[in-house]
């Protein structure tokens, strides 16, 4: 299927590694030029080079997504180079405390993750929308999480932030829809990678005195498909919702989790 993304401009936050890198390169392979945004520009450089090797134009910009003014500057700089933004994909976010109950979580820990995971997306969305509205088209994809759909013991702060992002996404979808703009959310489950291994799996190993392999298997057993999500699975969902072929889909939460959120 032709996703009709060739020549489109995609602004992607959190592109340095993991699913952010996979999503960025997936859009590049479909023909998009990229504006890559994150705190560590050196870490983004290899992703940018890989996209350039595919013949794409790429710009890299440093940004703290909790800084409203800087988010506006990033969008302005993207428009100055490319003329407009067709697709915004908000991947950047954090995991917050792992293995802490709600009453063990400090106010600072709660505020930090809620601000990053909610306000970061809000800042970029409000910055790109005036330009999209003026053009009468655009796609926004926020990367949430299934813990924002079912909740999770030991992940209260993270879960709260992703529940909130769902509300932000749905409200923006209702407001932007009349202007021809689709706003959706992709909700990954546990995604294989560094964060999953060093935080989630490591916490299970400590709690239950089991091996890493046993901890991974325990997670997989919770899913209908009995396997952990890969970065590429999330990237494919973002491609679909970020493309014109999803023209009649907005305000949805799309779990990419092997069947955990629906169980």
User: What is the C-alpha separation between 110 and 105, in angstroms, rounded?
Assistant: 7
Residue 151: count of CB within 10 angstroms of its CB: 13
| Structural domains counted in the chain | 2
Question: In terms of domains, do 156 and 111 share one?
Answer: yes
pLDDT of residue 84: 98
One domain for residues 222 and 163: no
Range of the domain at 198: 192-228
> pLDDT value at position 219?
79
Q: How far apart are CA 218 and CA 30, in angstroms?
A: 36
Specify if 262 maps to a domain. Answer: no
Query: Both 115 and 204 in a single domain?
Result: no
Query: Is the domain of 200 the same as that of 143?
Result: no
How many residues are given for the chain?
263
Q: Whole-model pTM? A: 0.92
Amino acid 261: pLDDT: 87
* Residue 157 placed within a domain: yes
Task: Assess if residue 72 is contained within a domain.
Answer: yes
Residue 211, in any domain of the structure: yes
Same domain, residue pair 168 and 207: no
Q: Are residues 78 and 206 in the same domain?
A: no
* Domain match, 27 and 150 both: yes
Are residues 47 and 92 both part of a single domain?
yes
261 domain residue, yes or no: no
> Do 205 and 153 fall within a single domain?
no
Q: Are residues 79 and 181 in the same domain?
A: yes
pLDDT the model gives residue 242: 98
| Confidence (pLDDT) at 208 | 86
In a domain, 139, yes or no: yes
Residue 153, in any domain of the structure: yes
CATH of the domain at 166: 3.40.50.720
Give the per-residue pLDDT at 263: 66
Residue 213 pLDDT = 86
Q: Which pair of structure tokens corresponds to residue 117?
A: 């995971």
Asked whether 82 and 11 are in contact (CB, 8 A), the reply is no
Asked whether residue 136 falls in the same domain as residue 197, the answer is: no
* Pairing assessment for the beta strands 87-90 and 33-38 based on DSSP bridges: unpaired
Residue 3 lies in a domain: no
Taking only the tens of pLDDT, the chain with its 263 residues reads 899 999 999 999 999 999 999 999 999 999 999 999 999 999 999 999 999 999 999 999 999 999 999 999 999 999 999 999 999 999 998 888 888 888 998 999 999 999 999 999 999 999 999 999 999 999 999 999 998 888 888 789 999 999 999 999 999 999 999 999 999 999 998 888 777 777 777 878 888 899 888 888 887 888 899 988 899 999 999 999 999 999 999 999 999 999 988 76
- Residues 4 and 35: their CA atoms lie apart, in Å, by 18
- Please tell me whether residues 237 and 137 are part of one structural domain: yes
């Amino acid at each position: 299927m032709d996703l009709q993304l060739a020549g489109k401009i995609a602004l992607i936050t959190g592109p340095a590694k993991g699913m952010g890198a996979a999503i960025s390169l997936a859009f590049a392979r479909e023909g998009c030029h990229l504006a890559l945004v994150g705190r560590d520009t050196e870490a983004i450089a290899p992703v940018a080079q890989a996209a350039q090797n595919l013949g794409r134009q790429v710009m890299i910009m440093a940004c703290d997504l909790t800084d409203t003014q800087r988010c506006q500057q990033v969008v302005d700089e993207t428009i100055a180079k490319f003329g407009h933004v067709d697709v915004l994909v908000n991947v950047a976010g954090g995991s917050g405390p792992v293995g802490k109950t709600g009453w063990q979580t400090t106010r600072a820990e709660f505020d930090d993750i809620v601000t990053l995971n909610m306000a970061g997306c809000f800042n970029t969305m409000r910055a790109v929308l005036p330009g999209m509205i003026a053009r009468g088209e655009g796609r926004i994809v926020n990367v949430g999480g299934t813990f924002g759909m079912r909740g999770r013991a030991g992940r209260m702060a993270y879960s709260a932030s992703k529940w909130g992002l769902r509300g932000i996404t749905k409200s923006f979808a209702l407001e932007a829809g009349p202007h021809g703009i689709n706003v959706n959310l992709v909700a990954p489950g546990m995604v294989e990678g560094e964060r999953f291994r060093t935080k989630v799996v490591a916490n299970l190993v400590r709690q239950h005195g089991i091996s890493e392999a046993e901890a991974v298997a325990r997670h997989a057993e919770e899913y209908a498909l009995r396997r952990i999500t890969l970065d590429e699975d999330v990237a494919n969902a973002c491609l679909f919702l970020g493309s014109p072929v999803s023209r009649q889909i907005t305000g949805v939460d799309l779990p990419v989790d092997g069947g955990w959120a629906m169980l």
